[in-house]
Every structure is written in C-alpha cells, then in structure tokens.
C-alpha cells in the first residue's frame, strides 16, 4: 500500500513513517517544507503525483496556547488545510486518515468520552481541530477515518516527558497539575494504529488513545522516576498554573466502535525512555 504522510517531519509523522516501513508499505513522507497543507493547489498536485492508496494527515498547528491569539491561523491549518488534504485524497481515489484531538471535548464528564458524545471545545485550538473534523467529513464524506487521540508524546519532537526530564535536571522541586485527567499516548503506538486504519478503511470517527488514565502529575512522577532523576514532585490545581488556553479537566477517551486498542501509557513511557536513551548514545 502506498501511503502519503503529510506533516511527516513532526513527532507523530516520523513514527507513522516508521510504522509504514515496518508493516511493509511504501510511505511517501512529506514534511512541512515539502508540502504546506494550507496551499490547496500544492496539496492537489502532491497527492496526484504520489498516487497513494491512503493519505495520513499528521500536519497540524499544535501550539495550543498560541492559538488563543492566532485562532484564524490555527484554523487555516487545522481546519481548511485538513479539508484540502481530504478533498485531494478523495479526488485521487485514496482513503483519508485524519488525526484529531481530545480537545474537541469540554471535559465536564467523569466517565470516558465515546465517539457519539457531543463535542464542545473550550479553546481556540479545540475549535480549530473540530473545524478540521467537519472539513474532512465534508470533503471526503465516504472515504475518511477521523482518529481522535490525546496527550501525545514521542522521541521525535518536543513533548511533556522531555520537558519534565529537562526541568528535573534544572530544579530540585517541580509543581505539576493533578486535576486534569487523560490518556498519555505514545506516538510509536498511535503511528502503527494509524497505518493499520489506513488499510482497514473504517469510516467515521474513532477514539484511539492509550489504555489506562492518569493526571499530568502522575505522568510527570512516572517520567522523572523512570529517568532516574532526584527531584521532589508536588501536585497542584489548574488554578495554580494558569495558561492562556483552557484545558478539558477530563478527556479520557474510549471507543464504542471497536477502534484498535493501544498499550497502556506506562508501556508507552517505557518505550519512549528506551528510544531517547538510544538517541543519546
């Protein structure tokens, strides 16, 4: 299977390419410098030239807080750009796999969000991702899979565990939010699932996130301990660490549609630590 990957230079895109190679597929990996998804004509040409069986869109505006001041720009990428990718893929006869986010939910529930739950994003970033879902569904109504995932981390880019390890090297104590709950998802695991879904061609929305849930504080403690750092950790409330963009307090997602089950976030953390150790050596 020929798989065109947009945003291939990013953290998730890198792992999608690796997963495609491992599975014996032929990836055509295009980083942002090679393809700007906000340029609809360029997207059309790139997809037509690649002649893919599937397109996995990993290109995205990911700066959550910056989106509060730059919502039109974030929506241009996450909304209109996503629609351009899906439209070009549909015209080329290719299946679209689009990556969305838990931030499309408001986080008021205290039980896992399912695919059928109503959306209600709190932030500009969340609204931009929901716009992308709508654009993909409109542009490729019968040939798309929208994959919502959450709290992504991986060896190929900036992420929460890397930040915690760096700060633990610089400080004796760390305060980390303990009242936001989610499912930290390793991009190595998600990347493989996206490649599988490109072949499965399951239409509509699927929730694909790590098994088990935790708070940012629990995730931070596990990360710092796994890294062998000697740093005292303190839980705090969201109100003690205000950020420009509001986050959903609870964004655990599970599937009622038989989406692929991923390993736990702890398993993902172990693989992440092994990968970054190899990079350092």
- State pLDDT tens for residues 120-148: 999 999 999 999 999 999 999 999 999 99
CATH T-level fold of 2-158+184-209+252-262: Rossmann fold (3.40.50)
- pLDDT reading at 42 higher than 50: yes
The residue ranges of every structural domain in the chain are 2-158+184-209+252-262
Residue 265 has pLDDT above 60, yes or no: yes
Kindly tell me if the per-residue pLDDT of 184 is higher than 80: yes
Asked if 110 and 250 touch (Cβ cutoff 8 Å), the reply is yes
Residues of 178-209 as b/e, b for ≥16 C-beta within 10 angstroms?
bebbbbbbbbbbbbbbbbebbeeebeebbbbb
pLDDT at residue 281, as a whole number? 45
What is the helix (H) or strand (E) element at residue 75, kind and residue range? Answer: helix 71-75
Average pLDDT of the residues in 22-43? 96
The string of DSSP codes covering 166-233 is: HHHHH-SEEEEE-S-EE--EEHHHHHHHHHHHHHH---EEEE---BS-EEHHHHHHHHHHHTT---EE
pLDDT of residue 280: 58
pLDDT of 47: 97
* Catalytic hit among 113, 125, 138, 241: 125
Residues with Cβ within 8 Å of 15's Cβ and at least 6 positions away in sequence, in order, are: 154, 156, 187, 188, 190, 191, 192
220 within 8 A of 233, measured Cβ to Cβ = yes
Average pLDDT across the chain, whole number: 96
Provide the pLDDT for residue 277. Answer: 84
Active site residue 113: no
Note the pTM of the prediction, 2 decimals.
0.95
Q: How would residue 240 be classed by pLDDT, with cut points 50, 70 and 90?
A: very high
């Amino acid at each position: 299977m020929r798989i065109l990957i947009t945003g291939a230079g990013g953290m998730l895109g890198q792992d999608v390419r690796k997963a495609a190679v491992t599975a014996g597929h032929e990836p055509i990996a295009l980083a942002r410098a090679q393809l700007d998804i906000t340029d609809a004509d360029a997207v059309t040409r790139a997809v037509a030239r690649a002649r893919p069986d599937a397109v996995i869109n990993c290109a995205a505006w990911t700066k959550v807080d910056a989106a509060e001041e730059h919502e039109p720009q974030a929506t241009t990428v996450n909304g209109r750009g996503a629609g351009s990718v899906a439209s070009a893929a549909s015209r080329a006869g290719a299946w679209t796999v689009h990556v969305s986010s838990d931030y499309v939910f408001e986080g008021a529930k205290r039980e896992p969000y399912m695919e059928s739950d109503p959306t209600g994003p709190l932030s500009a970033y969340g609204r931009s991702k929901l716009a992308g879902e709508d654009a993909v569904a409109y542009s490729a109504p019968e040939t798309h899979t929208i994959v919502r995932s959450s709290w992504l981390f991986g060896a190929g880019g900036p992420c929460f565990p890397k930040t915690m390890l760096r700060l633990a090297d610089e400080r004796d104590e760390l305060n980390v939010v303990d009242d936001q709950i989610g499912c930290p998802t390793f991009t190595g695991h998600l990347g493989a699932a996206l490649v599988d879904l490109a072949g499965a061609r399951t239409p509509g929305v699927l929730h694909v996130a790590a098994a088990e849930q935790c708070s940012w504080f629990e995730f931070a403690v596990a990360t710092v301990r796994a890294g062998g750092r000697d740093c005292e950790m303190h839980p705090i409330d969201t109100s003690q660490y205000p950020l420009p963009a509001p986050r959903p307090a609870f964004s655990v997602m599970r599937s009622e549609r038989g989406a692929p089950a991923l390993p736990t976030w702890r398993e993902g953390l172990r693989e992440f630590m092994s990968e970054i150790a190899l990079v350092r050596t």
